[in-house]
Structure formats: structure tokens, C-alpha cells
Amino acid sequence: MTATTQSHPLAALDTPAAVIDLARMQRNIERMQQRMNALGVRFRPHVKTSKCTPVARAQLRAGAEGITVSTLKEAAQFYADGFNDILYAVGMVPAKLPQALALRRQGCDLKIITDSVASAAAIAAFGREHGEKFEVWIEIDSDGHRSGIKPGEAALLDVARALHQGGMVLGGVMTHAGSSYDLNTPEALAAMAEQERAACVRAAERVREAGLPCPVVSVGSTPTALSAAQLDGVTEVRAGVYVFFDLVMHNIGVCTTDDIALSVLTTVIGHQVEKGWAIVDAGWMAMSRDRGTQKQAHDFGYGQVCDAEGEVLAGYVISGANQEHGILSREGAPDTDIAKRFPVGTQLRILPNHACATGAQHPEYHALAENGEVATWRRLYGW
């Protein structure tokens, strides 16, 4: 299990560096798309995970239709790169309406969301003032996790009417069962997927029963998308982290470590032999401070250690981190041979807790193909 400094395709990169295993990424993309095809729904990937045009293009080539973004700057950048059907899946506030208007005036088919009468009224007033019919989806709370209107609340129809009667396009309803991240059995995940589906479909039925349009019923998270038994009444699914996966998803049970396509290349820079530590140049600035596995059954610290080829070194994790220093140690008893096992200069790859957070620490990805070729892909930033 000794890591060596032998030559490998990534050896010339400066570290720390974000690496995408393209073969794994493509398998992940195909797995999700085939599942959505089998369930008979459109798939709209959430590109906030990669924030990278080549990754999103690979998702669309596989059959995805449209994309989901988390910032309006993402929307603008992806639109400039040729993406048109875009859902901005964060609640709209009045101050951001000029950004949304500018995108729509450029020709972008941008959809926005709301979960309050106040926001709906502001959207409608701004739209009328500028002669713009914004397409707006209503966010539904299907699990008490974050934002949204519960499917049975009176506010749902109040918001729908404020949009429709205010002259906007009532595009549909959408939800995200984020509490699925707290589960770890197939039975619990399947139950949450059904809860998510049923809540969003019920909300759509209420809107339609009130004589209002509701063409889109959009659900999704990576765990529920991969666990749903059926999606009757749903028109599209959204999911994001599946494209790379990560250790949180591994602990949830929807992937293995062999599916994780994102890693951080790092170099051993020193040791604390008496403590059983190797020091690497990937601290929390490279891995992020996300400790999502800390509350799960297996705590991977700041990441799972792999050799330079990406093979897991079982039991070795980044157990601690400072800004630019990571502490590599063995779970359980300290490794007294740590300096021999990981000499200074050894390059390693670290699997992240949360791919979205780790990706956000890097300005670019190094995309590693099966033939050893490495391409550099820019990552998008900003709000």
C-alpha cells in the first residue's frame, strides 16, 4: 500500500489541483440519464456542481434538456456559451429582477422561482412595468428542509393567482428534497423520493383545480432521483452532484468510491512522524471546510486518500486541515512508518466530502481521459 512518486499523467501539474476522471464522469452521466429515460421524464441537470461548460455539454449530449443554475451570473455565462433553456432555482428577489430581465431581453429562455406572495407581486409589477412576461415556477416545500410553500397551504394559490393575474407566465411547480442527504438506506431513500413526488404533484393538482395553468412539475435531488420507483405526474427531474459524486453520496449509499469522479491532486510536503502524520499541500482552501461526512456513519475527515492513480488507500484520510496544510493520517492506530510510506514529494489524490464545495475552491479542472491525456477546463464563478 506504499504510494510512490512514479510518473503518472498528472505528475507535471502544480498542486493542489482539481482533477476530473472523465471515464467515471461519463459513466455517472449515462447512469442518471438512462434512469430518467426509463422513468419517462425530462432531465434538467443542476450545473452548480461543476459550473463548467464542457461538463454541462456532456450532460446535454447524453440526453439532458435544459440546465438548472444557482446564480444569475451562472445563467449569463452558460447562455453566452450556447445554453438557452435555463432555470434559476433560487428564490427571486426584486433587486435581481434587472439581471433576469437583461438575460431574457438577450433571448435567454430563463425561468425564475418564487415561494411568497410578496415576491410574486414584485415580479409581476416589475414585469408589467418593463413589458416582460417572466416565466415563474412556484417552489414547493416537500420535506421541511429549506424553502418553499407546503402543497396544502393557502399561500400556494395566492402566489399562483398573483403571478397569473399579474400577467406573468405561471410555468409550474418545483421542489428539492434536500433532507434526502440525511438518509442512508434504500428504503428510506425510496420513501423520500415518493414523498417528494407526491408533494409536488399534489401542489400541481391544486393549482390546476383552481383553474390555473401548471405545465411543469419538477422534482429532484441526486439521492431521490436515483431511488424513485415511479414518477407519475412529474414532468422533469433535476439533480447535480451525481455528475461527480462524493463521499457524502457514498455514505448515503447511492455510489461507491469508484464512482467519485472529482479528486484533489496533492503533494506530501513533510511529516510529524511521532504523531503518525504526513503533511500535504491540500488544506481547507483546496478541499473546502465542508465536513458533510462528520454527521454520517463514516467520517472521512476532509477527504479519502488515494494514490496518484486514484486507487483508494483504505484507512488513510485527511484528518485535519489548516488553510494550506492537510494532515494525512491513518484511522485508528497511528502509522509509525508514515514517512517511508509517503515520502516528501509523493503525489496523492483526495476524494472530497462535497464535490460542489471542493470544486468551488478551484479556478479550473484538469480533465483526465483514459488514454492519459489531460485537458484544462475553466470553472465559472460569481453571482
- Going from N- to C-terminal start, the domains of the chain cover 46-239, 255-378
Give residue for cell 484528518. 319
pLDDT in tens, 236-257: 999 999 999 999 999 999 999 9
pLDDT at position 8, please? 87
Whole-angstrom distance, CA of residue 376 vs CA of residue 356? 18
State yes or no: pLDDT of 323 exceeds 90: yes
pLDDT in tens, 126-180: 999 999 999 999 999 999 999 999 999 999 999 999 999 999 999 999 999 999 9
pLDDT at position 168, please? 98
Give residue for cell 510518473. 7
Long-range contacts: 11-16, Cβ < 8 Å, 24+?
Answer: 11/308, 11/347, 13/265, 13/366, 13/374, 15/265, 15/266, 15/267, 15/281, 15/282, 15/347, 16/264, 16/265, 16/266, 16/267, 16/281, 16/282, 16/286, 16/362
pLDDT in tens, 351-375: 999 999 999 999 999 999 999 999 9
Tell me which DSSP letter residue 281 carries: S
State yes or no: pLDDT of 1 exceeds 90: no
Q: Are strands 42-43 and 236-237 parallel, antiparallel or unpaired?
A: parallel
State yes or no: pLDDT of 5 exceeds 70: no
141 vs 3, higher pLDDT? 141
pLDDT in tens, 279-310: 999 999 999 999 999 999 999 999 999 999 99
pTM beyond 0.75, yes or no: yes
Q: Which residues pair with 306 in a beta bridge?
A: 312, 349
Residue 142 backbone dihedrals phi, psi, to 5 degrees: -100, -5
The model's confidence at residue 7, banded by pLDDT at 50, 70 and 90, is confident
pLDDT at position 6, please? 54
The cell numbers describing 255, all together, are: 455510489
Residue 188 makes CB contacts below 8 A (sequence gap 6+) with: none
Entry field: residues in the chain: 383
The cell numbers describing 285, all together, are: 482552501
State yes or no: pLDDT of 88 exceeds 60: yes
Residue 116 makes CB contacts below 8 A (sequence gap 6+) with: 91, 149, 155, 159
Is 46-239 assigned to CATH 3.20.20.10?
A: yes
State yes or no: pLDDT of 4 exceeds 90: no
Is 255-378 assigned to CATH 2.40.37.20?
A: yes
Average pLDDT, the chain: 97
Whole-angstrom distance, CA of residue 261 vs CA of residue 273? 31
Whole-angstrom distance, CA of residue 246 vs CA of residue 353? 6
Q: Are strands 326-330 and 277-280 parallel, antiparallel or unpaired?
A: antiparallel
